[in-house]
Structure 1
Amino acid sequence: MSTDDESFHPLGQEWETELEGMLDDTEYDSDLGMQMAQDAMRVTKGELSEAEFHEMYHDDVMDEFGVDDRPTEEAYEAAQEEGKGGVARMLSAFDDDGEEGRRDVMKKMGVGAAAVGLGAWGTVDDSEPSLGISQEGDDAGGDGDDVQMGMTIDLEQCDGCLSCMSACAEENNLDQGVNWMYVLEYDEPEGTPDTSNNLLVRPCQHCTDAPCEKVCPTTARHTRDSDGLVLTDYDVCIGCRYCQVACPYGVNYFQWNEPDISTDEIAEDHEDMDSDHMTSEDRWVDSRAPRGTMSKCTMCPTRQDGGMGDEMVGTTACEETCPQDAIHFGNMNDETSDPQIYADNPSRGRTLTDFAPDEADVEEELEELEDALDGEDEDLDAVLDAYDFQGLGAVEDDEEGLALLLALEITAEDELGGGEDYLAQNEEFVAAALEIIADHGLDLESQEVLSELDLADAPEEDDEEDDENGADEDEDEADEEEEDEAQDEFDGPDEGAAQSLIEQYAGTPASSFRLLEDMGTNPNIIYLGNEPGPNAEQSEDPEEQSDYGNVSYQRADGDRVDLVDNRKEILDDETVGDAGVSL
């Protein structure tokens, strides 16, 4: 399917047609929804102001819904003066007292995860990873007061195991066919150079300037001030599905029927927590949606609020379960956060994740290192013989293992350790291991040791030949002074050599991009590698399809996972199939 058509939607005319058909089967104005979505995307592109957009549709929204809780033109102007950025950054918590309840007459027809052309998603050509958030009023990669949670996803590390999808579905009590986290397999046209595994991990992008939020008449779709997450208030959502049409990424789901798991069951499962896993900041925004409302990836607000324990703050279910450490979650406005550290130097990030043992094994590993060195000589060879540095990663020998530990320290932007994030804890392990080695007596800063590990030039050798009777005492003293002077002139390890060693070990991603970055949505996910080409298409090989859609839920190891593609088709099969019963 080509995206070079008359469609306003980045995913093309076929996708737009399906969305329009979906709106036609609701009680709401289809033309209004389609036009608002188109103009919302114009706002993100800078072709239309927020104030103009509100003014343009205020009367129509009032006529259709009897309410328009989107910010007024005056509110937009005030927010611009205060430099608050997008819509929901200036919205106070929505007061839903007296809310009449969502309309429960939505008919079942819609878009599951139809095959799409992905070329529009990979349009940014950037040889270096992006840093920070490209939004007016924020310093990219800075340490400002605004928190904007997001991710860096290393697609070259993803092996398609689908653990992220399974973990998301389990933690959020999602029905089969509702996939907030999604792993798309895509094909490139025949003849196109194709060296990747062609997988695109697609959660919600939690855009700083989200089109889905602009079209919501009730502000059910909102961005919360505390961390920039784009969420849906299920108590306020009326299921008009305008957000689904306005989203350029296809991440929204409509809850067709009563969910498989009741709210009572969710509460019971979380009785030992400081949260019911549903409400956050007094709004029902987490876990599965009730019937007749919209849902999508939330980036786990219950975790971020401490409802699952302080140790879970700053984590997501998908990140936690990824065996390849391909997903890194954190504050995109903090240059010391996991996603920014990883994006800033992906080769180093990969090495960090590979070289640190599991958190439970860190102390044991450090004790093992200390015990191994106890009583051994202090020279480099003795240290290498005493401990299995090769076991820390997929390295050829102990010398390379120790060299990579040192290279991680040499290439660190700041002092190793000192943070609570995953990569910061890994750096603490590296720092602690090197400190044990230094305390044992091996001078890791000496030119001799660094040169033997190929992290510095070798010391210059004295090329003066002694005469047959040997050098006299004055010449010996002069030689010693020259050696001392040469050592004094040694300016430390070679950072370029350290970086080259890391890149040789971990590789360098072929690209860095954000989906539809040129559109102005300011997505808060950085992707590394596997950028879809301009004519990429979602895979539709019938032999690879699941029973309910166009994605194969078979892992690389051959096992299938309990995931399917389209919730609507499951419901139809259960209710209008052999039983002949309709909903």
Structure 2
Amino acid sequence: MTSSEDDSGESFHPLGEAWQDELEASLEETEYDTDLGLEMAEDAMKVTKGELSEAEFHDRYHEDVLAEFGEDERPIESGGEGRVEQALSRIGVDEESRRDVMKKMGAGAGAVGLGAWGTAESDGESAVAATQEDEEEGVEYGDGEGTQWGMALDLEQCDACLACVVSCAEEHNWDQGANWMYVLDYEDTTPGGRNRLIRPCQHCTDAPCEKVCPTTARHTRDSDGLVLTDYNVCIGCRYCQVACPYGVNYFQWDEPDVPAEELEEDHMFDARDRWVGSRGPRGAMQKCTFCATRQDGSKGEELIGRTACEDACPPEAIQFGDMNDPESDPRQYLDDPALARVQSMNSPDEEVQEAIDVVTGETEPAEDEDGDGMTEREARGIIQAEAGSGDSTFRLLEDIGTNPNVVYVGNEPGPEAEQVESEISYADVGQTDDRKDVLDEGTVDLGWFV
């Protein structure tokens, strides 16, 4: 059995054997232990699935990490509190209440139960209530305390113009081909034929990449749940790249195209004075940050709650905001995608406008179809005929327990999905698609999404 295979002889990585082999080869180019990186990545994913506890994971690799790196700054110390207990403690829940919550959640629920209030800074009583409500009612999008930035991405609205990719590159100055934001087309055997996927970092609530970082360079920002990299702390071991189920991490091989002296300081350092914004220096890992320095106000209050990709998207397929706030843009969009779509279209059709007014309550609906005016049922039929239903929503790899904070509207890729050429190429917009060779060789499919 090779180091890239699990006990069954199969690759552990959701992206498949070819992807895992490529990651193994990249680890072998570093000065750090390849086998340790692969084994930690595999077990980090077991933690998110609830198959291994945080404490067991930490203890299993503590001595090896110390021997390899001379330090072990991973979030959970041996014999200490688990991740969920730490979060409850941080938001003010007393010891007795923490025990009650953990008992309700059960031993296997710890990895997936942290949920939307994991980064909260509120009173403990409301946090416990939110936890119980989530369990009892199965709240899908949060309703926790504190801020949790996330996205709703409407795949049926996306026209693959790549404006989001261009704006991200301009905002963060990453090198050609890094592609923190990536848009791809694929063909599938499921109904609908040709489909599309937008892939930023998912900013997981329970991120495997954070679990394997020996220096805490990869970390979750307490104030808003963003998963970030402190470039001043990152040693470039690339373990986070192997542990990420979504393939969103990039290593800065050479000196960056844009030198440090040309970067805006308020875009480099966040409110904690940690270098987590813009592109990274040579030898560091980097990825989508959800425009972290915008969100903490470092670039001005007017940019809080906005990302560069959202601002640039012509069909408004990207909705960014607080996933814990029912009134935020993504939550409102997910509540009624068809209505949100048709409102963004600014249709001149009077019947469509009347339907919008009826559904939004601006106009009183008719009681029956024989009366004057339009019933709500008729209005919704007109809206769906204009914009589609938007009934299908999903999260990528939801079953592995990472709790991604990106929710998609549209068709979920099936096991037979294969990436195909898009009508607009990256070269057409002055960008580079480093996945082109992989696409041409046909070495990566999309079956890992299900």
Same fold (TM over 0.5): yes
Structure 2 regions of 5+ residues with no counterpart?
A: 1-7, 91-114, 119-129, 438-450
Aligned counterpart, 1:440? none
How much has 1:354 moved relative to structure 2? 2.1
CA contact (8 A) 2:46 2:52 kept: yes
Q: Does 1:533 align with 2:414?
A: yes
- 1:472-487 matches, cutoff 5 A: none
CA distance in 1, matches of 2:30, 2:359: 56
Q: Provide TM-score, normalisation by structure 1.
A: 0.62
Relative contact order, higher structure (CA 8 A, sep 6+): 1
For this pair of structures, how many residues does the alignment match?
389
CA distance in 1, matches of 2:199, 2:59: 33
CA distance in 2, matches of 1:262, 1:521: 35
Distance 1:61 1:294, change over 3 A: same
Distance 1:198 1:347, change over 3 A: same
How much has 1:84 moved relative to structure 2? 6.3
- 1:391-410 matches, cutoff 5 A: 393=347, 395=349, 398=350, 400-410=351-361
Letter of the aligned partner of 2:247 in structure 1?
Answer: G
Letter of the aligned partner of 1:405 in structure 2?
Answer: I
Q: Does 1:301 align with 2:172?
A: no
Q: Does 1:180 align with 2:180?
A: yes
- 1:248-397 matches, cutoff 5 A: 248-267=245-264, 275-355=266-346, 393=347, 395=349
From 213, 231, 242, the counterpart of 2:239: 242
CA distance in 1, matches of 2:86, 2:278: 36
CA distance in 2, matches of 1:523, 1:336: 20
Letter of the aligned partner of 2:258 in structure 1?
Answer: I
Aligned counterpart, 1:166? 166
What CA deviation, in whole Å up to 9, does each residue of 1:182-236 have, x standing for no partner? Answer: 0122233xxx255254211000000000000000000100000111000000000
CA distance in 1, matches of 2:9, 2:89: 35
Aligned counterpart, 1:38? 42
How much has 1:134 moved relative to structure 2? 10
CA distance in 2, matches of 1:208, 1:163: 27
Alpha-carbon RMSD across the aligned residues, in angstroms, is 2.8
Does 146-155 or 299-308 show the bigger shift? 299-308
- Secondary structure of residue in 2 paired with 1:169: helix
CA distance in 2, matches of 1:520, 1:276: 32
What CA deviation, in whole Å up to 9, does each residue of 1:104-134 have, x standing for no partner? Answer: xxxxxxxxxxxxxxxxxxxxxxxxxxxx959
From 20, 23, 28, the counterpart of 1:16: 20
What CA deviation, in whole Å up to 9, does each residue of 1:433-479 have, x standing for no partner? Answer: x5xxxxxxxxx54xxxx54xxx744459xxxxxxxxxxxxxxxxxxx
How much has 1:259 moved relative to structure 2? 0.7
Whose radius of gyration is greater, 1 or 2? Answer: 1
Letter of the aligned partner of 1:300 in structure 2?
Answer: C
Aligned counterpart, 2:109? none
Aligned counterpart, 2:222? 225
What CA deviation, in whole Å up to 9, does each residue of 1:29-60 have, x standing for no partner? Answer: 00000000000000000000001000000000
Structure 1 regions of 5+ residues with no counterpart?
A: 86-131, 356-392, 411-433, 435-443, 461-491, 545-550, 570-583
CA distance in 2, matches of 1:513, 1:278: 33
CA distance in 2, matches of 1:552, 1:493: 40
- Secondary structure of residue in 1 paired with 2:156: coil
Aligned counterpart, 2:378? 497
Aligned counterpart, 2:106? none
CA distance in 2, matches of 1:198, 1:142: 28
Distance 1:408 1:351, change over 3 A: farther
CA distance in 2, matches of 1:157, 1:25: 41
Q: Does 1:524 align with 2:405?
A: yes
Letter of the aligned partner of 1:562 in structure 2?
Answer: G
- Secondary structure of residue in 1 paired with 2:228: strand
CA contact (8 A) 2:184 2:197 kept: yes
CA distance in 2, matches of 1:299, 1:341: 19
The percent identity for this pair of structures is: 55
